[in-house]
Amino acid sequence: MVSSKLLFVLASAAVSSAFDPQLGYNSFVDVENRTIDEIYQAALKEGGTVTLWHGGDEKNQQNSLKQAFEERFPGMTLNVTVDLSKYHDVNIDRQIATGDVYVDSVALQTLHDYPRWKSQGALLPYKPLGWDALYKDFRDADGYYNGFYVLNWANRWNTDYVKEPIKEFDDFLRPEFKNKLILTYPNDDDAVLFAFDLIMKQQGGYEWFEKLLAQKPRWVRGSATPNTLISNSNGTYTASFTGSIGLTPSAPFNVSLPTAPNSFVSWPQTGAILKDAPHPEGAKLLHSYILSEEFQAARGGWSVRSDIDGPAGYPKIFDVPGTDVTKFSEFMADRAAVERLRFYFEDKIGSAQGLSPLEDNL
């Protein structure tokens, strides 16, 4: 069986015989030894701009990162484009293939892309400030990519209409949820696909999914779409498990995390700098800032740094009983298995219908 550490160690062997004309064989890069302010000054001299492509399904999802970065570093501009990671990566491939790279940094859910890009010589090795504090499972040994922060899916429901808490996935089969569930197409999002894979393995196979279909859920595109409709549908839709709203949501939401081993999805949203990035110093500043204690502690949720405690009420991510944060990378690396599972769901519920969630105004 492929090791769960696959994503973050496989590429080291793959690139050992690849020649980079700038870096040579078996290149090694030291951890950043400049201060954050020294990197900041270098980024200003370079032009004061950094362009980030970030995975997501709402255009404004990274507005808080843009605001925090630009406030922390006056004179810098962070241009952020949010789109589904599976669309970002094909456009990055096109830029690499044509030699027309205009993006500096990427932060994507498609974890299988990073070893491939590394083996192609398309990434700039960089070990940002905070590198030594990263969990080793969240960083490429040669510094070509590393985790930015941990994302996860959670059970959530509208407390105005659901009075009995949801604890485990069987709870979604309660009669009160017939015609009330709103779920993201698993054949449209690999992290949602992985969630269904975990649930069905935990619940004993496909029988649970057949029972879920009998609940007549509404299927939508985008992991953020269920939250919007649960909030604004006046009780038409009341619960979901395909996505997240954070671990301490505001009313009317409540959340829960299943406690059975390896039952819910979590992963390190992973970032890298493109080798031909037009603003490498700006990208280095961004990466060092994202890994800083300042940003990691303020962001909420689980950190990729081992020296930062879990969010209030939760242990650190590797001590959470209901998830194995290394498993998603293993799942994503086996593209043949992913495709087989995707087509199983497409056969059951049809292809994903509707506009991309970034285009759909609901």
The phi and psi torsions of 12 (rounded to 5 degrees) equal -60, -45
17 and 134 fall within a common domain: yes
Both 234 and 201 in a single domain?
Answer: yes
The per-residue pLDDT for 312 is 86
Residue 323 within any structural domain of the chain: no
Which pLDDT value is given to residue 60? 93
pLDDT of residue 10: 41
Q: Is residue 358 part of a domain?
A: no
Indicate the SS3 state at residue 292.
coil
The verdict on 50 and 124 lying in the same domain is yes
- Statement to judge: residues 36 and 65 lie in one domain: yes
Q: In 3-state terms, what secondary structure has residue 296?
A: helix
E strands along the chain, which residues? 49-55, 77-83, 105-108, 123-124, 146-152, 155-158, 182-184, 218-220, 239-240, 253-256, 266-274
Contacts of 170 (CB under 8 A, 6+ apart): 203, 208
Residue pair 52/81 in contact (Cβ under 8 Å)? The answer is: yes
Alpha-carbon span 216 to 179, nearest angstrom: 5
Does 218 fall in a domain? yes
Q: Kindly state whether residues 220 and 344 are assigned to the same domain.
A: yes
Residue 355 is predicted with a pLDDT of 78
Instruction: State which amino acid sits at residue 209.
Output: F
Report the alpha-carbon angle 82-85-91, nearest 5.
90
144 and 159 belong to one structural domain: no
Asked whether residue 113 is domain-assigned, the answer is yes
Nearest to 88, CA basis, from 49, 117, 121:
117
Asked if 174 and 161 count as a contact pair (C-beta separation under 8 A), the reply is no
In a domain, 259, yes or no: yes
Q: For position 360, what pLDDT does the model report?
A: 59
Distance between CA 184 and CA 186 in Å, rounded?
6
Question: How confident is the model at residue 230, as a pLDDT?
Answer: 96
Are both 90 and 215 inside the same structural domain? Answer: no
- Report the C-alpha gap between 142 and 74 in whole angstroms: 31
Strands laid side by side in the 253-256 sheet: 239-240, 155-158, 253-256
Q: Which helix (H) or strand (E) holds 18?
A: none
* 23 and 36 housed in the same domain: yes
Q: For residues 121 and 36, what is the distance between their CA atoms, to the nearest angstrom?
A: 27
**Is residue 145 domain-shared with residue 168, that is, in the same domain?**
no
Range of the domain at 244: 154-264+329-349
129 and 275 within one domain: yes
Q: Are 53 and 103 in contact (CB under 8 A)?
A: yes
DSSP assigned state of 31: B
Could you list the mean pLDDT of each consecutive 10-residue stretch along the chain, which spans 362 residues? 44 41 59 98 98 95 97 98 96 98 98 98 98 97 97 96 95 98 97 97 91 98 94 96 91 93 96 98 98 94 96 94 96 98 97 79 43
Establish if 336 belongs to a structural domain: yes
Domain tally, the chain: 2
Q: Which two tokens stand for residue 12?
A: 């080291």
Structure tokens at 361: 């105004």
Residue 296 lies in a domain: yes
Contacts of residue 290, Cβ cutoff 8 Å, sequence gap at least 6: 65, 128, 148, 149, 271, 296
55 half-sphere exposure, CB direction, 13 A CA radius: 25
d(CA 156, CA 182): 11
Q: CA nearest 234: which of 156, 155, 161, 157?
A: 161
- How far CA 241 is from CA of 126, 149, 155, 264, 339, in Å, comes to 36, 20, 4, 9, 22
Question: Does residue 166 fall inside a structural domain?
Answer: yes
78 and 139 part of one domain: yes
The owner of tokens 């992963």 is 267
Q: Which residues pair with 298 in a beta bridge?
A: none
Q: Are residues 183 and 236 in the same domain?
A: yes
- Which residues are within 8 A (CB) of 71 and not within 5 positions of it... i.e. 6 or more apart? none
| CATH code for the domain in which residue 279 is found | 3.40.190.10
d(CA 166, CA 170): 9
Cβ atoms of 252 and 159 within 8 Å: the answer is: yes
Chain centroid to CA 296: how far? Answer: 15
* Count, residues in the chain: 362
Cα-only R_g, the chain: 21
